[in-house]
């Protein structure tokens, strides 16, 4: 009992500890660096054109591409979620990260060549060219925006809020609004180029800081072998029910799992069964890395295909790190603070972290606050901010790209380039406002296992998209009807599982959910595999029953025709021609009545509109320049060899921890 009171006292004195000069100096320094990198990159690329703003002028080398892929992916949700799930159930959650090593190679070798030769900026645009018609691209834009808000923005903001609450004791709204405004500032002004260069800086900060924390935590726990030995005995001291009439706590709710150090777990009784970990995560990963706008946009901004592949390899190597930098520290946190991180009695958990379900989410922030010395705590806060801001900025930029290029151009096909860029920026501000309004929803829906929540929602909604894209790229026979009905069928199937599960609630170990076994019995990863195959079958069946798309419409849109140099009759040609004509008329009209005042000119320079000549020069150029996916053979072999080496390393790590 006295031990418990002592722990509580320690907890209250830990809050609000970042208030000394060293910490504050580091945080201020970090912000200055980020903003200066953003401003520097503003002057490097021409942001006046759509290509310059949304695709960084296609001039990026491999290291910003690789770093940006990593930083866009790793958000504060990873720090909080990976560490928390690692604390609760062991290293299997690292399988999510290590599976991505292979998927990112699929992206660079199979998907990006097709996207590059297709000459598209957004993924819905690719589907529009590939299938014709507008309903598929509209559906994809809407569902992508929806998924961004539900699975990426809300989770990252919630994790950032948890961290700030634990570390600073600030009011959540003040902290998050400040963060969002700073992120929005350099996203809105800089475009993708600014993002990718700042992402490189953020990657460095994230990895350096996380390494430091990992070092300190291993020192604190006594080394790697100590971690292996002590984890299984990291049980809380209070595990008896405070209200036996309402509930009883069985031992397996607070004892660490026996298979905690196995990546591949039992298919029926494991919390992350191995078929799901290998195949289910591959499918969701296929959606995330190969078909999602955020990630693909960074690859499309690269200088050449070789740079894309090298960037993918670099990202792959970086993805080896989260297991050691986030999952292991999470487990160490449970060993060091079993009564807070591993708390099981609902009333106590509520006192510790504000939610009855469990406190594993505070694993990482607890470490930062408790074992890092002064100055380094500020560094860790900078790391969390880096992760949060880089992910949010990427999502803002990509969602604005999606909205501008797919939804806005449908509403106003005559929009000029300048108008599109302005709309893109205004949309970022809109989505910032929506995210702020979403915070109370996320707070109310606090669940014990944050990472699980993201992955399960993704498993219910993403497999149809992954399947349609995979078939679109590799199977010429698939046509618009097949793809559309496959998407709709897949969506309905996913909703059939997702809505009841949300309705009944996910429950916890002590209060299991009363969702019927038929609906919720299948593990969400296995459900993802089933959904993927059902959607593929549906797409293929409907496609083979309806008329095919001719080859002349498919040159450079499918993998088998990616090198073809023949003229392509775009299926959306008429629509585009109408749009281009309307755009040209609108631009002429604007140039006629243009009167440049001094202030207007200044504002335009700041916002990157490079005058009226630049867009005109770019517009006739764009249709003639086909993106080149030829590769210098020497570099091709180097890059292929490197990919093989990376896969070997990945396979070794999987084998070691299986």
Partner 1 sequence: MGKLCAVTSCLLLTVSAAAAQTAQPQIERLLPQWLTGIIAVSAFLFLVFVTLLVKKAWCEKPSRKTAVESESDRENEFVVTNGNTYETNLDTIRRKSTVESARENEFENTYETTLEMTGRKSTVESTGENEFGNTYETTLEMVRSKEDPNAFDNLAFGSADDKVTSM
Give the binding site for partner 1 (CB under 8 A): 110, 228-229, 232-233, 235, 237, 255, 258-262, 474-477, 559-560, 563, 644, 647-648, 651-658
Smallest gap from residue 568 Cβ to partner 1 (A): 17
Smallest gap from residue 232 Cβ to partner 1 (A): 4
Question: Closest CB to partner 1 among 110 and 142?
Answer: 110
Tokens representing 611 are 């005058």
Question: Closest CB to partner 1 among 61 and 255?
Answer: 255
Smallest gap from residue 13 Cβ to partner 1 (A): 26
User: Is residue 361 within 8 Å of residue 247, measured between CB atoms?
Assistant: no
Smallest gap from residue 473 Cβ to partner 1 (A): 9
Give, as one character, the DSSP assignment of residue 43: T
Question: Closest CB to partner 1 among 559 and 635?
Answer: 559
User: Is residue 501 within 8 Å of residue 520, measured between CB atoms?
Assistant: yes
Question: Closest CB to partner 1 among 228 and 434?
Answer: 228
Give, as one character, the DSSP assignment of residue 570: -
Question: Closest CB to partner 1 among 430 and 658?
Answer: 658
Give, as one character, the DSSP assignment of residue 44: T
**Residue recorded with tokens 């496609």:** 543
- 235, with CB counted inside 10 A (0-12, 13-18, 19+), is middle
- CA 317/CA 299 separation, integer angstroms: 16
Smallest gap from residue 247 Cβ to partner 1 (A): 19
Question: Closest CB to partner 1 among 30 and 274?
Answer: 274
Smallest gap from residue 498 Cβ to partner 1 (A): 32
Q: Please state, as a whole number, how many other Cβ atoms lie within 10 Å of the Cβ of residue 621.
A: 11
User: Is residue 559 within 8 Å of residue 113, measured between CB atoms?
Assistant: yes
Question: Closest CB to partner 1 among 228 and 495?
Answer: 228
Question: Closest CB to partner 1 among 59 and 232?
Answer: 232
Tokens representing 133 are 């018609």
Smallest gap from residue 231 Cβ to partner 1 (A): 8
Q: How many helices (H) and strands (E) does the chain have?
A: 33, 0
Smallest gap from residue 207 Cβ to partner 1 (A): 24
Smallest gap from residue 489 Cβ to partner 1 (A): 22
Question: Closest CB to partner 1 among 485 and 657?
Answer: 657
Question: Closest CB to partner 1 among 22 and 475?
Answer: 475
- CA 153/CA 285 separation, integer angstroms: 18
Question: Closest CB to partner 1 among 495 and 651?
Answer: 651
Smallest gap from residue 102 Cβ to partner 1 (A): 11
Q: Where are the alpha helices (DSSP H) in 245-301?
A: 274-275, 281-285, 293-300
Smallest gap from residue 258 Cβ to partner 1 (A): 6
Cα dist from 423 to 12, 403, 451, 581, 604, whole Å: 46, 9, 33, 20, 14
Smallest gap from residue 386 Cβ to partner 1 (A): 32
Beta bridge partners of 512: 507
- CA 175/CA 171 separation, integer angstroms: 6
- CA 363/CA 320 separation, integer angstroms: 21
Q: What is the 3-state secondary structure (H, E, C) of 324-359?
A: HHHHHHHHHHHHHCHHHHCCCCHHHHHHHHCCCCCC
Question: Closest CB to partner 1 among 517 and 656?
Answer: 656
- CA 658/CA 655 separation, integer angstroms: 5
Question: Closest CB to partner 1 among 190 and 342?
Answer: 342
- CA 202/CA 475 separation, integer angstroms: 39
Buried b / exposed e over 628-645, threshold 16 CB at 10 Å, is ebebeeeeeeebeebbee
- CA 118/CA 125 separation, integer angstroms: 10
Tokens representing 627 are 């993106």
Smallest gap from residue 347 Cβ to partner 1 (A): 18
Spacing of C-alpha 597 from chain mean position: 42
């Amino acid at each position: 009992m006295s031990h418990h009171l002592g722990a509580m006292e320690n907890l209250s004195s830990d809050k609000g500890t970042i208030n000394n000069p060293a910490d504050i100096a580091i945080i201020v320094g970090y912000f200055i660096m980020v903003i200066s990198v953003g401003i520097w990159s503003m002057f490097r690329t021409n942001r006046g054109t759509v290509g310059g703003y949304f695709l960084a002028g296609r001039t990026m080398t491999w290291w910003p591409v690789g770093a940006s892929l990593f930083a866009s992916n790793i958000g504060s949700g990873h720090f909080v979620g990976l560490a928390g799930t690692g604390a609760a159930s062991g290293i299997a959650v690292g399988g999510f990260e290590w599976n991505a090593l292979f998927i990112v190679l699929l992206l660079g070798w199979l998907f990006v060549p097709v996207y590059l030769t297709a000459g598209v900026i957004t993924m819905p645009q690719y589907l529009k060219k590939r299938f014709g018609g507008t309903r598929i691209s509209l559906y994809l834009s809407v569902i992508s925006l929806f998924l961004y808000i539900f699975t990426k923005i809300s989770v990252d903001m919630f994790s950032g809020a948890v961290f700030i609450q634990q570390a600073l004791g600030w009011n959540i709204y003040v902290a998050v609004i400040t963060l969002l405004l700073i992120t929005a500032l350099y996203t809105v002004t800089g475009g993708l180029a600014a993002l990718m260069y700042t992402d490189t800086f953020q990657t460095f900060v994230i990895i350096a800081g996380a390494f430091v924390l990992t070092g300190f935590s291993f020192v604190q726990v006594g080394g790697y072998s100590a971690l292996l030995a002590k984890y299984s005995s990291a049980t809380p001291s209070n595990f008896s029910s405070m209200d036996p009439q309402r509930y009883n706590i069985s031992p397996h709710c607070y004892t660490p799992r026996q298979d905690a150090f196995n990546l591949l777990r039992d298919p029926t009784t494991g919390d992350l069964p191995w078929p799901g970990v290998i195949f289910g995560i591959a499918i969701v990963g296929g959606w995330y890395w190969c078909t999602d706008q955020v990630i693909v946009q960074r690859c499309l901004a690269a200088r050449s295909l070789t740079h894309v592949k090298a960037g993918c390899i670099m990202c792959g190597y970086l993805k080896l790190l989260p297991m050691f930098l986030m999952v292991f520290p999470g487990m160490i946190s449970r060993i060091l603070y079993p009564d807070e991180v591993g708390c099981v009695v609902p009333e106590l958990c509520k006192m510790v972290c504000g939610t009855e379900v469990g406190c594993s989410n505070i694993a990482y922030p607890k470490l930062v606050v408790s074992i890092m010395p002064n100055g380094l705590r500020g560094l860790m806060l900078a790391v969390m901010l880096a992760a949060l801001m880089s992910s949010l900025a990427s999502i803002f930029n990509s969602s604005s790209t999606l909205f501008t290029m797919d939804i806005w151009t449908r509403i106003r096909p005559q929009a000029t380039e300048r108008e599109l860029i302005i709309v893109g920026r205004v949309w970022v501000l809109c989505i910032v406002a929506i995210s702020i309004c979403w915070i109370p929803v996320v707070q109310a829906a606090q669940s014990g296992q944050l990472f699980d929540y993201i992955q399960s929602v993704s498993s219910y909604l993403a497999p149809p998209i992954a399947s349609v894209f995979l078939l679109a790229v590799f199977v010429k026979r698939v046509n618009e009807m097949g793809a559309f009905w496959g998407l709709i069928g897949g969506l309905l199937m996913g909703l059939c599982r997702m809505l009841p599960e949300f309705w009944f609630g996910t429950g916890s170990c002590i209060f299991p959910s009363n969702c019927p076994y038929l609906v919720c019995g299948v593990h969400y990863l296995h459900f993802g595999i089933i959904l993927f195959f059902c959607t593929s079958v549906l797409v293929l069946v409907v496609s083979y029953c309806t008329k095919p798309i001719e080859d002349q419409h498919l040159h450079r849109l499918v993998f088998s025709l990616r090198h073809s140099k023949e003229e392509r009759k775009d299926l959306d040609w008429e629509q585009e021609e109408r749009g281009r004509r309307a755009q040209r008329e609108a631009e002429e009209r604007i140039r006629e009545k243009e009167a440049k005042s001094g202030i207007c000119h200044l504002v335009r320079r700041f916002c990157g509109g490079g005058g009226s000549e630049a867009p005109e020069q770019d517009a006739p150029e764009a249709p003639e320049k086909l993106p080149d996916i030829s590769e210098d053979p020497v570099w091709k072999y180097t890059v292929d060899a490197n990919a093989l080496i990376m896969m070997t390393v990945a396979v070794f790590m999987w084998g070691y921890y299986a």
